[in-house]
Amino acid sequence: MATTEHFNLQTARAATISEANGRASIYLATLSSNLIAFAFIGQMSRLGPDFYAFALLLFPVLAFVGVVTFQRLVQPSFEDISYAQRIARLRNVYVQLAPKLEPYLLVTRGRPGDSGPHGGPLSPSGWQLTLTTAGMVGMVNSVVIAASAGLVLAALGAASLAVTLAAGTLVGAVALAMHRAHHRHVRDAYKPETIDRFATLAAGTQTPSRPGAAALEREAKGSNSSRSDRGASTADEP
């Protein structure tokens, strides 16, 4: 049973990594393809009104895709830490059942929640959060948001390029700070027991029955009982 749980946790960790890589790849591919289209439109329109119209329609959509991608990438990163902690608990079980394995297994000491991602000794630092896939997407998406702000000012006829760059830099810095603040908030609020609680709730749910399913079940039980009664009466006859 313990080895089966260990295998399931390893599979869940692999699923979180696969999902993170897939979502990041989709976002970066969408961004790169739209930037190529953006360059073609700029050449054809010679940076005219069509260029700004296309850009102001394109970049807000890219920024939205980046925000939802970032928020989803934050979640599996901490889910992966929780799965790793639960695997460490299983190693403790292996050592308790077979003490001779202790030199060959990395065994954690202390309570299960002491090294959690919400303030424990193994809590990821702010720079470590930046190195994650979510941190990378947050950085790139902040640049997209900054470019959107700069294009808005340019379309409105900003006084100079310096004003446009300064405004875009300010908006990008604020967007990056908001991304990082959300990342740290999820780190501080996340608890390893959350996955266990969700798994328990999922195991306790029942699939709602289809309309008429209860009546069909009662009819089937009635037919079975009538058959058994007929069989009993036939067995009682001489």
Amino acid at 101: L
Query: Residue 200: what are its φ and ψ, rounded to 5°?
Result: -65, -40
Give residue 89's pLDDT: 82
d(CA 102, CA 110): 16
Note whether 72 and 23 are within 8 A (CB): yes
Amino acid at 190: Y
Closest CA to 140 of 198, 213, 66, 38: 66
d(CA 177, CA 42): 31
Q: How far is CA 123 from CA 14, 120, 126, 184, in A?
A: 21, 5, 10, 10
**Residue boundaries of the structural domains of the chain:** 2-229
Give residue 114's pLDDT: 52
d(CA 78, CA 132): 11
Q: Which residue has the tokens 């959107």?
A: 148
d(CA 222, CA 217): 9
Q: Let me know how long the chain is.
A: 238
d(CA 73, CA 142): 15
The helix/strand/coil state of 114 is coil
d(CA 229, CA 104): 64
Per-residue pLDDT 10s for the chain (238 aa) are 778 888 888 888 888 888 889 999 999 999 999 889 888 888 888 878 888 888 888 888 999 999 999 999 998 888 888 788 888 888 888 888 888 877 777 766 655 555 555 445 456 777 888 888 899 999 999 999 999 988 888 888 766 788 888 888 999 999 999 999 998 888 887 776 666 665 545 444 444 444 554 554 555 555 555 555 555 444 454 4
d(CA 136, CA 143): 11
Give residue 172's pLDDT: 93
**Which distant-in-sequence residues (6+ apart) come within 8 Å of 164 by Cβ?**
150, 153, 154, 158
Give residue 202's pLDDT: 47
For the chain, report the end-to-end CA distance as a whole number of angstroms: 55
